[in-house]
Chains A and B, each alone.
Chain A
Amino acid sequence: MSTDNITHTHSAHVSHHFKDATQEYDSGKQGIWLFMVTEILMFGAVLVGYGIFHHLYPAMFSEGAKQLDWKLGFINTLVLIFSSFTMAISIQLIQRNQIKKAAMALAVTILCGAIFMVIKYFEWTHKFHMGFYPGRFLDMAKTHAEHANLGMYFGFYYCMTGLHGLHVLIGMGLITWLLIRTIRGDFHSQYWIPVEGVGIFWHIVDLIWIFLFPLLYLVG
């Protein structure tokens, strides 16, 4: 065992209440997956609500969807997919002890999140400028809305993209924390569970957008 400690400069530092490094790693990851279930249920409830009201007022939802620019949604989809790729690659680089490259990949991930939010900001402010506010705040005269309840579509739009945007912001914060720890040298081939956990969170944010893009921008 003593020779092992010399050959392996990096160790997993197993806490005493775990049997071995694998069990410790699996326990952490299982916690993240349980958290992901709550994420699926939270966004799922909003999606079911959208489905029901879309079924009740198809023409009104169609009018709302026409107001969105699918090109911006399309660019944001590509940006988010690319950020998911750089996030996944950062874990693989840490597993192979390529720490500098991993830090670069994490920085690119944060940058992509920022690009996503900037595009989102311009989309929202443009909608506000046109008078498309949620619910009863929608400016009927300014928007020339055909349907009196068009505000409901924008209620869903702001709730869904807002909740998603909040996740992107939290994700960016968490990845910044990972980036600092990566530069500090906390992660290596035997310890990367925080990166894996935040990675799974970041991918679920991407996953939700994969469904929101056709739902809000295309199908309507």
Chain B
Amino acid sequence: MAANNHKHDPNVLHPHISPTSMYLKVAAALFGLTILTVVAHQFHHQLGAFASLVAFGIAAVKATLVLLYFMHLKDDNNMNRAIFASGFFFLIVLLLFSVVDIATRVTEVSPL
């Protein structure tokens, strides 16, 4: 009965506790990916235009790992996920309109 009371007690939190091994694995993956970024950079002459794509691709994977496991978005509610995603949405809006502005500018030389 006591256990049952505990489960329904509004004053008790029931957090999702991730095991230490998970944090260790994520940290190891982040270290590995950082080294991979530097290794990939050694071939940036061969990669050419893809070099920055590779570097930011790896950075995006690292960022996702931090968000999901360190910042606990994996076990969080959809509201917090939506809030965070909205930040990126407005960032894309900013980028999009800035790019459209720059790309459609006409260079004019002053006749004066």
Which positions in A face B, CB cutoff 8 Å? 1, 3-4, 7-8, 11-14, 19-22, 25-26, 29-30, 33-34, 36-38, 40-41, 44-45, 48, 51-52, 55-56, 70, 74, 77-78, 81-82, 84-85, 87-89, 92, 95-96, 189-190, 196, 199-200, 203-204, 206-207, 210-211, 213-215, 218-219
- Which of chain A's residues have a CB closer than 8 A to the CB of B83? 30, 33-34, 36-37
Contact A206–B66 (Cβ < 8 Å): yes
**With contact pairs A12-B13, A40-B87, A48-B98 given, residues A219 and B20 touching in the complex (Cβ less than 8 Å):** no
Cα A40 to Cα B84 with chains together (Å) = 9
Out of B11, B51, B87, name the residue touching A36 (CB < 8 Å): B87
In the assembled complex, the CB of B73 is this many whole angstroms from the nearest CB of chain A, namely 9
Cα A45 to Cα B90 with chains together (Å) = 10
Count chain B residues whose beta carbon lies closer than 8 angstroms to a beta carbon of A: 54
Cα A56 to Cα B14 with chains together (Å) = 53
CB<8 Å pairs between A and B, sample of 7:
A8-B6, A13-B11, A37-B84, A41-B91, A78-B34, A81-B31, A189-B15
Which positions in B face A, CB cutoff 8 Å? 2, 5-6, 9-15, 17-18, 20, 23-24, 26-27, 30-31, 34, 37-38, 41, 44, 51-52, 55-56, 58-59, 62-63, 66-67, 69-72, 76-77, 79-80, 83-84, 86-88, 90-91, 94-95, 98-99, 102
- Which of chain A's residues have a CB closer than 8 A to the CB of B59? 210-211, 213-214
Contact B94–A214 (Cβ < 8 Å): no
- Which of chain B's residues have a CB closer than 8 A to the CB of A215? 56
- Which of chain A's residues have a CB closer than 8 A to the CB of B94? 41, 44-45, 48
Listed from nearest, the 8 A-B pairs whose CB atoms lie closest are A20-B10, A37-B87, A40-B87, A214-B55, A85-B27, A44-B91, A219-B52, A88-B70
Contact A1–B5 (Cβ < 8 Å): yes
Closest residue on chain B to residue A51 by CB atoms: B95
**With contact pairs A41-B87, A219-B51 given, residues A81 and B34 touching in the complex (Cβ less than 8 Å):** yes
Cα A81 to Cα B2 with chains together (Å) = 43
15 further interface pairs, Cβ-Cβ under 8 Å (given A14-B11, A40-B88, A41-B90): A4-B6, A11-B12, A20-B11, A44-B87, A48-B98, A81-B34, A82-B27, A84-B30, A85-B26, A190-B12, A211-B56, A211-B59, A213-B37, A214-B55, A219-B51
Closest residue on chain B to residue A89 by CB atoms: B23
